[in-house]
Structure 1
Amino acid sequence: MEAIQHIHHISAIVGNPEENIKFYRDILNLKLIKKTVNYDDPSTYHLYFANNSVDNGTIITFFNWPNTHKGRIGNGQVERIAFRVPKGSLDEWAQYLEAHQIEIMITQLFESKTLEFEDIHGLPLALVEDDKVQSDQQSIIGFHGVTLLSLNPQETVKTLTTDMGLVKTSEDEGYIHIETQGEWRHHVIVKKQIADTNVRWGVGVVHHIAWSVPTNQAHLDWQAYMSNKGYHVTEVKDRSYFNAIYMKEHGGIIFEFATEGPGFTIDEPFDQLGHQLALPPQYEDRRDELLRLLPQIRV
C-alpha cells in the first residue's frame, strides 16, 4: 500500500451556522465552498470551508448543532486543529486576532512558534508558519496538522506509522511527533498522557479526521487492507464530493479515508461554491421541508 500522503478534511461539531460562517469566512478568511446537510441527519447543516484554491489538504467541515450541549474534550478525538500561514505572518495574525477580541497564547506545541486560540464555539485551533511560502495577504495556506488524544497512544502511533505509512519524526516527554510523507508534510502529534475522561460529542469538539486517498480503487484497497489488519471498517459511503469509509483506530479516534474526487464543483461552478443549499439526490424531493427545518443563513 502507498502511504497516506495528507489529510483530506477534518470535521467538527459547532453551534449556530451564521456565527460559524462569520468566524471562518470573515475572520480566518477561508472560503465557504459548500452549504449542505448532514447526510445522516438532514435536519442539520454541514458547512465546508477551504483555502481560496479549494485544495485537498485544506478542507474543514462543520456539523452545526445550534441548540445542543457543549461537548467535552477527551480521549478518542482530534483535540486541536492547526492551520499553516505564510512565513513571517504570525505576529501580524496575533495582532489581528486580538483586535477581534480573540484570546491567544504563544507556545512551541508544533516544535516551532505556535499561536493557539479557540473559535467562536470553543473549538481549539492553532496557527503555525510555513517555512517557505511568503505572502502579503492575511491568508491561510491549509492545514498544518493536529493533536490527537488517544485511549492508547502507542497503538495510535502504530496505526499511523506501521499501518498507514506516516513517519515518526521525534518524541519528547509529552508528545510523539509524526508526519505524512506527501508534499503537505502534515504534522500529527499524539499526546502521551491519557486524559481522565473520554470525549463527549457536542459543540466545540472535533468529530473525525479524514485521510486522502487518490482514487476509488485505492479507496477499496484501503478498505480491504485495514479490515485485514483487524479494524472494523464501514462500507463505502457516497458523500457526493468524495467516497468515504470510516473506522475507529485502537485509541478510539474516528479515522475516515476519503477519495480526492469527484470534487466540489460537480453540482456548483467554482465561482458559485457555497452560495446555495446543495442537497444530495436522496434529499432533493425534501428541499422545501428541509428549508423550513434548517435555521436561516443570512450572512
Structure 2
Amino acid sequence: MNSIHHITAIAGKAGVNAAFYENVLGLRMVKKTVNFDDPSVYHLYYGNQTGEPGTIITFFPWEKANPGIPGGGQAAVITFAVPEGSLGFWEKRLQAAGVETDRKRRFNDSYVVFDDPDGIPLELVERGSAAEKAERTAITGIAGVLLLSTAPEKTDTFFTEILHWTRKDADDSFVRYATGGDFTCVDVLQTAVERGEDGPGTIHHVAWRAADDKVQGGWKKKVEQSGVYVTPVRERQYFQAVYFRVPGGVLFEIATDAPGFLVDEPEYRLGKSLMLPSWLEPERKQVEASLPPLTEKNISN
C-alpha cells in the first residue's frame, strides 16, 4: 500500500462533472458505468489515456442529494501532479474557464488550489523532471491527498506501525507521511475534526494499489490482525476491492491493478459507451432509463 490506485468522490450533476474534468482539467473519461451497489447512479472514471492506476479519479453523481458536509473521516483535498514549470499554465487555464485559483504552500511545496463545481477542494503540485517542462503540461496522476481524522494520534499509529509509512515532515498544522511509492504523500491535519457527512462535494474514499490478489490478501490479513475490520473481496469488474476504515474514520480501499479498464473496451473506445457488468446486462434498459443524460457542456449550468 504505497501508491494510490484511485480516489472516489461524490458529485452533483453528472453532466457538469464530466464537462469540468474532461474539458477543464483535460482528463479522459475512461469508463462510464454505474455504482454496482446502486445501479441508478453513474460511476464515472477519469484518468490518463489508458486509465492507468494512479491517474484515476472517480465519481458517484448524486444529483438529488443534499450537499455533503466535509469533516473527520474523509479526505479533504485531492492533489494532482503536473510537470515541473507548469503551474503558471494551469493558473491561466483555470482562470480562463472561470475557476478561481489561489497559491498556497504546505511544507516545501507550492500549490495551485481551486474547487471543482461541487466544491471539492483540488490542488496541483509540480512533480517530474525539468525535461518535461517544455513538452508537457497535462496532469500526470495523483500526487497525494490531505485527510481529516477524528483521532489523529490513532491514525498516526496505524500509518506508521501497520502500514509502515514514515513521518516525512510535520508542522503546527499537518503531518506528512511518505508512503514509499513514487511521489505519493499523505498529509493529515493534526487537529481532530468532527465526523463529516457524505454527499455532493465530499470525497468518499482513497484506494491503494495492490499488484494482484495475493498482495491484496496479504494486506487484508495484516490490517485484520491489527483489529480493523476489512470487507470481503468485492468484484468491481476492473479490479478486485476490499474496504476498511483506518482509526480516525477515513475509508480506504485496496484495489488490484488487474484486469484494468481495457477488459471490456478497446483503448480508442474507452468511456464512449455505458458499460455494465454481466449480471446487470439483462436489466440494461431499466438501468439506462434511470440515469440522467450526460449532455451538459457548460460547467456553470
Aligned equivalents of 2:217 and 2:13: distance in 1?
A: 36
Stretch moving more, 46-55 or 278-287: 46-55
Residues 18 and 294 of structure 2 are in contact (CA less than 8 Å); yes or no, is this contact kept in structure 1?
no
What amino acid maps onto 1:191 in structure 2?
Answer: L
What amino acid maps onto 1:143 in structure 2?
Answer: I
Aligned residues: CA RMSD: 1.2
What is the CA-CA distance between 1:53 and the residue it aligns to? 4.1
Aligned equivalents of 1:46 and 1:246: distance in 2?
A: 17
Aligned equivalents of 1:252 and 1:241: distance in 2?
A: 26
Aligned equivalents of 1:185 and 1:159: distance in 2?
A: 21
Aligned equivalents of 1:237 and 1:54: distance in 2?
A: 20
2:237 corresponds to: 240
Q: How does 1:89-238 map to 2 (within 5 A)?
A: 89-109=86-106, 111-132=108-129, 134-135=132-133, 136-182=135-181, 184-195=182-193, 197-238=194-235
Residues 29 and 138 of structure 1 are in contact (CA less than 8 Å); yes or no, is this contact kept in structure 2?
no
What is the CA-CA distance between 1:138 and the residue it aligns to? 3.5
Stretch moving more, 31-40 or 50-59: 50-59
CA deviations on 1:114-172 (whole Å, 9 max, x unpaired) are 11100011111000011425243430010111100001112112222221122210111
1:9 corresponds to: 6
1:18 corresponds to: 15
Q: Structure 2 regions of 5+ residues with no counterpart?
A: none
User: 1:110 and 1:53, CA in 2 relative to 1: closer, same or farther beyond 3 A?
Assistant: farther
- SS state at 1:256 partner: strand
Aligned equivalents of 2:269 and 2:158: distance in 1?
A: 39
What amino acid maps onto 2:266 in structure 1?
Answer: P
Residues 43 and 290 of structure 1 are in contact (CA less than 8 Å); yes or no, is this contact kept in structure 2?
yes
Aligned equivalents of 2:259 and 2:128: distance in 1?
A: 31
What is the CA-CA distance between 1:283 and the residue it aligns to? 0.8
Identity %: 37
CA deviations on 1:24-71 (whole Å, 9 max, x unpaired) are 011000010000000111000000001234221111100011111011
What is the CA-CA distance between 1:223 and the residue it aligns to? 1.4
Residues 74 and 196 of structure 2 are in contact (CA less than 8 Å); yes or no, is this contact kept in structure 1?
yes
Residues 110 and 128 of structure 1 are in contact (CA less than 8 Å); yes or no, is this contact kept in structure 2?
no
Task: Give TM-score scaled by structure 2 length.
Answer: 0.95
Aligned equivalents of 1:109 and 1:279: distance in 2?
A: 41
Q: Structure 1 regions of 5+ residues with no counterpart?
A: none
Task: Give TM-score scaled by structure 1 length.
Answer: 0.95
- SS state at 1:277 partner: coil
Aligned equivalents of 1:155 and 1:142: distance in 2?
A: 29
- SS state at 2:286 partner: helix
- SS state at 1:262 partner: coil
What is the CA-CA distance between 1:110 and the residue it aligns to? 5.4
Aligned equivalents of 1:63 and 1:161: distance in 2?
A: 31
Aligned residues: 294
What amino acid maps onto 2:272 in structure 1?
Answer: H
